Amino acid sequence: MSEENKSDTITIKKDSLWKYSTFILAALVVVGAFVFFSDNGSVTGNVANNGALPAPPQTEVTLGNDVKDDAILGDENAEVTIYEFTDFQCPYCGRHHTQTFPEIKSQYVDTGKVKYVIADFPLTSIHPMAQPAAESAECVREQGGDESYFEYVDKLFTNQQTLSNENFNIWSKEMGYDISACLSSGKYTAEVQKDAQVAQATGGRGTPFFVVVGKNGKGTVVSGAQPFSAFQQVIEQKLA
C-alpha cells in the first residue's frame, strides 16, 4: 500500500470516530433529560418557567369534594381557590414554597381575593419520607388547626433534607404539640392517599400540581414550579 493510501485510510477512521462520538454524546444528553420518574412514569416536577418559555397549556377541570376538607389559608369566602397538590420531599415543591408562594400569599391571599389549600400528592416510589411527612402535618392540624398546619408546612419545606419521623416529633413539639401517637398509628394514611388519588384523577402526573378554581367551580390546571406570573394570569382570569 502506498503512503498516499495509508494517509487516506487513517483519515477515514478519524472521521468515523468523530461521527460515532457525536452520536453517543447526543444520545447521552437525551437520556439525561429523563432521569426522575414518579410511580406512573412521569417526571417528579417541572422546572420553573423563568419567562423565556410560554406557560403550559391550561386545562379546565372540576374537583370533587374529597379535597374540600383540607387545610385552608386565607378568607374562606374568597372568590378564587388555589389547590396545591404537593410532595414535601419534592425539590420543585420546595422551590415553589420559597420563591412563588410568598408572592401569591402577599398579593392575593392576604388581600382576601384567594384562599389557598394544600392537598397531598406524595410520590412514594422516589420520595419515601413524603407520605409520613404529610401524615405528620395532618397530626399537627388535628391539634392546632389550619394556622398551625401551615406553620408546620413551613418547617417541612425549610428542612427538606432532614425529613424523618424523629424530626417530625421534634418540630411538632417545638410548636407545642405531641404527635407521636397520632403519627405512629397511621391515622391519616388513608387521608393522604385519598388526596393523591384526586390529583391523579384530575390529571396530575407530577409535583407540584395546582388547580385554580373560580366562582363557577371550574378549575384551571397549572403544572410544575411555575413563576408567579403564570399564577397571576390564571387568578386574574378567575377574578374577572
pLDDT, tens digit, for every residue of 80-137? Answer: 999 999 999 999 999 999 999 999 999 999 999 999 999 999 999 999 999 999 999 9
For residue range 142-199, list pLDDT tens digits in order: 999 999 999 999 999 999 999 999 999 999 999 999 999 999 999 999 999 999 999 9
| Residue 180 confidence (pLDDT) | 97
> Are residues 154 and 122 in contact, defined by beta-carbon separation less than 8 angstroms?
no
Q: What are phi and psi for residue 116, nearest 5 degrees?
A: -115, 125
Tell me: the pLDDT tens digits for 50-79?
333 344 445 678 886 667 789 999 999 999
Kindly tell me the burial class for residue 167, based on how many C-beta atoms sit within 10 Å of its own C-beta (0-12, 13-18, 19 or more).
middle
Residues 6+ apart with CB under 8 A from 237: 214, 220
Which pTM does this prediction carry? 0.77
